[in-house]
Structure formats: structure tokens, C-alpha cells
Homo-oligomer: A and B are copies of this chain.
């Protein structure tokens, strides 16, 4: 009825040459798009942008700059590119540089090889949809070496436009069209919100398993069982997503824990999506990155030849932090060959991942070797980035844990701290009255009073009644110290204000 009225009104308006209703409005928008949430670039980040612009235009605030610790964007935080990587990509982009004596021979060798794999020897041609063949081969060789000899078939390797693109592609295969609302996707809570956003967009069922905050955010196998059994009541869980090292939680999974997950997936016939984009970001001396694939291999052929597993990697993290290149790959194990053909067809509609990103990925998996000219510089740059990150991980944990009402698990890996914050009941009430999550109120006030932009824990998911925020450890050590000092002062003030302790 309402729509009929609108129609009449609209015709009337049109006759008078007035209002014409829009075809696409919030009411007629795909509701699954409306349901999508992505906190990492959500309302708080939009607000931060507004404040930045206000400051640029000469406005005044109690601070002189906004520090964006909301997103893992290393170069934006001042991290310098790895010289060798950029040399190779520049050579590929402008091959006239091959004649330049200021570019090292080993970079030229790699660039030549990449260009040999490109149509017309140009970065400007489309690659095959799964990526440039020689780059896929380099990736497979890298995986074999990383996993100490576990075989990797280059035809199982697919280049992607950042890891996000690969994750969306695999979920689209698994989430079953019109039956989507019966397909369960198991994800950790807290999670990186690409997962929840993809699930909303595809109208699948988000099945939460909670990481154990009291145990350094470890994955607890009993919780997996609980989550799975509960979900079975209303949907069919088909896939389990794991993020290791964890985002936003920074934990590094033990080998035993990975074995348990894989055993569980085997038993319950779950497809495994292993987000391993932080595989080079491990800082805690007692932790080590174990790839899901290697662990699966070591569980024996019954497992290694049957569990369907996809692992994702990216140029955006690690020590390179090349987010803007949108490079990444996925390795697909035990996927049904017919499904693989369907996936390639789906990939082909979008033609191919960006070639510069593919080239950047190639450098990451095929870095200078000890006997090569640029090895020393490359190694220094790499160690310098990873060393600083390890120091900042430690520093962040230490300073935050010294603040009353903040508790921060060790940042064993990845690029984030996800501290738990105590929010006084009065502040919780105030937030509820304002119709916002308590940690959103907290982060908004932190932003407005200090210029520090972090993301509320509610954007990643957390146990009811607990509050967190995610901050990156990417600012320079000096800036990070300032940032953490401001967080401390803000937090103490916030507690005082709402606890009536003033």
C-alpha cells in the first residue's frame, strides 16, 4: 500500500515537474549491503578524518595531529619500503631502467624473469586469471622451503588482489546461493571484520567460536565443539576460518592447537580457511609460526590427502607492508578439481589481480639470497622493520598493563594489541542511553580528547560485558610512546570521571 501511495505521489510530482523518486534509496538498497559492518574504516575513522580536516583548516583541538592506529597501514605510519622490492617493481614498470647502472643486477634478473612471464613482456597485459605462471612457481617453491619440504604444487597457487579478495572468492564458492542462510561459517571472536562483512554480504550464518582471553587468546578445542554443536541446531557449518597469527588479538597458535583444529575439521568435514597473512610477524621468543599445511602434512596422509584447506598470504603485512599494491596469494589443497575449474571461471570474470602486486608478491617469496649483491641491504632493512615491531609489541604490552583498568595480552605476533579495558557502569549506562556500544563511546572520547584513533572491540566481537579496543603497533617508537602515554592519561581520567573518584 505504502509503495502504491509513493507511486501516486511520484506521478503527481512528475506531472508538476517536481520531485522524482530515486530508484536506489536506503529502502530499496540490497539489504545484505546494509547489514555489512566494517569497523576498521567505520564511524570512528570517518570522525578521525573530519577532525584531521578541521585541524588542517586551522581549527584547534587539545592536540595537533590525529594518530591513526586503527589500521595495519605500515607505510602510512612512516615505515620505509624495502628497497629491493621497489627496485624490482620499478624495473618491471619501466624496463628502460634495465640499462641503468644504479639498479642492481639481481633486481634486474628478477624483473626480467617476471616480464618474461607477462604477455608482450609488459606489466600492462592481463595475466592468466590465477596469476603469472613463473610467480606461481616461485610461490610454490617458497612454500616448500618454508614448510621444510612439504610438497607444493604451483597449480594450487592463485594470485589474489590482497588476501581479502581470496577470502571473498572462497567464501562465495562455499556459501550456497539461495540456501545461504543455512550455511554456517565458523569464525573466531574477536575476528578481523572482513569475515563478518563477507558473511553479511552473502547472507550466510556467522558461527562464533570464542578465543580464550585468559589464555593469551588461544583457540580452545572444546569451545570449537560447543560452537559447532550449537550452530548445528539452525544451520550447516561448512567452513572454519582461523587467523594465525591473530588479528586483532596478536596470538600465535601452538602446533598442538593447530592439530586439534585440523582433526576437528577432518571429523566434521569442514573446509578450512587459514588466514596466515601475518606469518612473518612473530615476535615472542617462545612462539613460532606453524603453517596449517605443514601441520596437516605431519598428521599423516589420511589427513593431508583429504582435508580441504586454503591458506592466504599478502604483500600488505610482514616486513614489507605493501598494502597499496594489493598483492596476495592463496594455496588451495585437496580442492575438488571440478570445483577448481569453477573457481578459475569465477576469477576470470574479474580478469586478473594487479600485475604490480603480483610482482611485489614475487619478491617477497623470492628475496635476495646470501650470495646475491643486495642480500646485505635487504636483510638489514627486513631485520630493522621486524626488530622494531618486536620492540613495539613488548613496549605496548608493558605500558598498557601498567595502567589500572587495562589488561593486555602479550602481542606475540601480527601488528595489533587488543587490550581489555574496564569501563565503569556509569559510562556503560551513558553509552546505552546514547544508543552506542560502551567501547565506541570510549574510543570516540579518546579520539576527541587526544587525537588517537583506535577501533572499538565491538567492531571485532568480544564476550558480552567485556570491552576492548584494537590499536596497531605501527607508529614509530617515539610516537608510540606518546600515544601510549596519552591512552594511559585518558584512561585514568575516564575512570575517575565515571567512577566519581574525582
Q: Is A155 an interface residue, CB under 8 A from the partner?
A: no
Q: Is A120 an interface residue, CB under 8 A from the partner?
A: yes
**A97 touches which one: B90, B162, B270 (CB < 8 A)?**
B90
Within 8 A of B (CB), among A38-86: 38, 40-42, 49, 71, 73-79, 81, 86
Q: Is A32 an interface residue, CB under 8 A from the partner?
A: yes
- Encode A332-374 as 1/0 by CB contact (under 8 A) with B: 0011101100110110111111111100000000000000000
- With A and B bound together, what is the CA distance between A350 and B194 in angstroms? 8
Inter-chain contacts of A34 with B (CB < 8 A): 342
Q: Is A112 an interface residue, CB under 8 A from the partner?
A: no
- Check A76–B126 contact: CB distance below 8 A: yes
- Encode A119-157 as 1/0 by CB contact (under 8 A) with B: 110111111110000000000000000000000000000
- With A and B bound together, what is the CA distance between A98 and B77 in angstroms? 22
- Check B326–A73 contact: CB distance below 8 A: no
- Check A126–B323 contact: CB distance below 8 A: yes
- Check B324–A73 contact: CB distance below 8 A: no
Which of A71, A87, A339 has the most B CB atoms < 10 Å from its CB? A339
- Check B75–A354 contact: CB distance below 8 A: no
- Encode A158-176 as 1/0 by CB contact (under 8 A) with B: 0001101100100011111
- Check B97–A342 contact: CB distance below 8 A: no
**A28 touches which one: B94, B118, B128, B176 (CB < 8 A)?**
B176
- Check A177–B334 contact: CB distance below 8 A: no
Q: What is the oligomeric copy number?
A: 2
Q: Is A215 an interface residue, CB under 8 A from the partner?
A: no
- Check B77–A356 contact: CB distance below 8 A: no
Inter-chain contacts of A120 with B (CB < 8 A): 75-79
- Check A30–B174 contact: CB distance below 8 A: yes
- Check A30–B173 contact: CB distance below 8 A: yes
Inter-chain contacts of A36 with B (CB < 8 A): 345-346, 349
Inter-chain contacts of A126 with B (CB < 8 A): 71, 73, 76, 323-324
- With A and B bound together, what is the CA distance between A81 and B125 in angstroms? 10
Which of A164, A193, A346 has the most B CB atoms < 10 Å from its CB? A346
- Check A125–B73 contact: CB distance below 8 A: yes
- Check B162–A26 contact: CB distance below 8 A: no
Q: Is A308 an interface residue, CB under 8 A from the partner?
A: yes
- With A and B bound together, what is the CA distance between A395 and B34 in angstroms? 51
Contact (A26, B125) CB under 8 Å given A86-B94, A119-B73: no
- Check A355–B23 contact: CB distance below 8 A: no
- Encode A167-206 as 1/0 by CB contact (under 8 A) with B: 0100011111110000000000000011001100101000
**A173 touches which one: B33, B78, B86 (CB < 8 A)?**
B33
Inter-chain contacts of A78 with B (CB < 8 A): 120
**Looking at the complex, which of A14-22, A227-235, A401-409, A482-490 is the stretch in contact with chain B?**
A14-22
- Encode A234-271 as 1/0 by CB contact (under 8 A) with B: 00001100000000000000000000000000100111
- Check A177–B86 contact: CB distance below 8 A: no
- Check A353–B326 contact: CB distance below 8 A: yes
Tell me how far the C-beta of A342 lies from the nearest C-beta in chain B, rounded to whole angstroms: 6
**A122 touches which one: B164, B203, B324, B335 (CB < 8 A)?**
B324
- Check A324–B127 contact: CB distance below 8 A: yes
- Check A354–B339 contact: CB distance below 8 A: no
Residue of B nearest to A32 (CB): B177
Tell me how far the C-beta of A349 lies from the nearest C-beta in chain B, rounded to whole angstroms: 4
Inter-chain contacts of A178 with B (CB < 8 A): 31, 178, 203
- With A and B bound together, what is the CA distance between A355 and B93 in angstroms? 13
Q: Is A413 an interface residue, CB under 8 A from the partner?
A: no
- Check B194–A29 contact: CB distance below 8 A: no
- With A and B bound together, what is the CA distance between A28 and B335 in angstroms? 13
Q: Is A210 an interface residue, CB under 8 A from the partner?
A: no
Within 8 A of B (CB), among A303-348: 306, 308, 320-326, 334-336, 338-339, 342-343, 345-346, 348
Contact (A325, B356) CB under 8 Å given A26-B338, A93-B89, A93-B90: yes
Selected A-B contacts with CB under 8 Å, 20 pairs: A20-B269, A21-B269, A22-B339, A23-B238, A23-B239, A23-B269, A33-B177, A33-B345, A75-B125, A76-B126, A78-B120, A81-B122, A81-B124, A89-B94, A93-B356, A118-B324, A122-B324, A124-B324, A162-B350, A354-B356
The list of the 7 closest CB pairs from A to B, nearest first, reads A76-B119, A324-B355, A90-B94, A75-B122, A41-B348, A76-B125, A75-B124
Known A38-B349, A124-B324; 8 more pairs at CB < 8 Å: A22-B335, A24-B173, A37-B345, A41-B345, A41-B348, A73-B119, A75-B125, A161-B350
